[in-house]
Amino acid sequence: KELLAKYGAPTAEALVESAMGHVKILEQCDFEDIVISIKSSDVPTMIKAYRLCAETCNYPLHLGVTEAGTERMGLIKSSIGIGSLLCDGIGETIRVSLTDEPVKEIYAAKDILKAIGKSGGVRIVSCPTCGRTRIDLIGLAKKVEEATKDIDKDIKIAVMGCVVNGIGESGNADIGIAGGDGCAVIFSHGEKLRKVSEEEALPALLAEIEKL
């Protein structure tokens, strides 16, 4: 009540002052095995609060956007909040909060860490399609993502709509596929490996991944 009266709302400054007040109580009891969590459902407030806290103390911080929402918006808000702080070097542990199955929170957390280069695993890049695309790229990309989500390899996979830009733009991919007119080319590090039909595209790609 005192902090709300002082700041007028649960601002970032109020959250940090509240957290540090509790830290002071623990320190007075000679207890310093502390991790601080100052989550907010408002992304800008959450980011500002953690940045202020990081300037105030050296205790490890547990990051999260609380009550982030359903899978779509929850993932977007968590990625912005958690990801931006981790890119700043702030945060030791994280929690993605989704109004959905808990296992989706785990996959989301892993994907955030992979996206900012904080963990290994499969990383997929895919193009948004254009007039040159002659295969079901959207469907293929989704199938590749699902088929590789549990693969424990630190690799980059490219799923591209055409050979014109696909191989060049994704030349640093460990393995990739570029669509043609009812066919596709499997490539690795910018070099063509083989040409397959559209129906063979997914199994052929997975077979090459097995070799890595």
Tens digit of pLDDT for each residue in 115-125?
A: 999 988 899 99
Q: Where are the alpha helices (DSSP H) in the chain?
A: 2-7, 12-28, 43-56, 71-87, 102-115, 137-148, 163-169, 201-211
Burial (Cβ within 10 Å: 0-12, 13-18, ≥19) of residue 95: middle
pLDDT band for 171, please (50, 70, 90 cuts). Answer: confident
Closest among 126, 118, 125 to 161, alpha carbons compared: 126
Dihedral angle of Cα 118, 121, 123, 124, to the nearest 10 degrees: -160
For the chain, the structural domain boundaries read 2-115, 123-211
204: nearest Cα among 147, 153, 132, 120: 147
What pLDDT, on a 0 to 100 scale, did the predictor assign at position 163? 84
Confidence (pTM):
0.86
pLDDT value of position 145: 94
The Cα 64–Cα 96 span in angstroms is 6
Q: Is there a shared CATH topology between the 2-115 domain and the 123-211 domain?
A: no
pLDDT of the residue at 142: 96
Give the pLDDT confidence of 130-163 residue by residue, as tens digits: 988 989 999 999 999 999 998 989 999 999 999 8
Q: Give me the mean pLDDT over the 78-88 stretch.
A: 97
The percentage of residues in the chain with a pLDDT greater than 70, rounded to a whole number, is 100
If you classify domain 2-115 with CATH, what class do you get?
alpha beta
Long-range contacts of 174-178 (CB under 8 A, 24+ apart): 174/212, 175/205, 175/208, 175/209, 175/212, 177/140, 177/144, 177/201, 177/204, 177/205
pLDDT reported for residue 3: 94
Q: How far is CA 23 from CA 17, 99, 112, in A?
A: 10, 30, 29
pLDDT score recorded for residue 166? 80
pLDDT value at residue 5: 95
Question: Average pLDDT, whole number, for the chain?
Answer: 94
Q: How far apart are CA 23 and CA 36, in angstroms?
A: 8
| Beta strand pairing call for 183-188 and 175-179 | antiparallel
- State the fold for domain 123-211: Sulfite Reductase Hemoprotein; domain 1 (3.30.413)
Q: What is the pLDDT of residue 125?
A: 94
User: What average pLDDT score do residues 1-12 get?
Assistant: 94
Residue 91 has pLDDT above 90, yes or no: yes
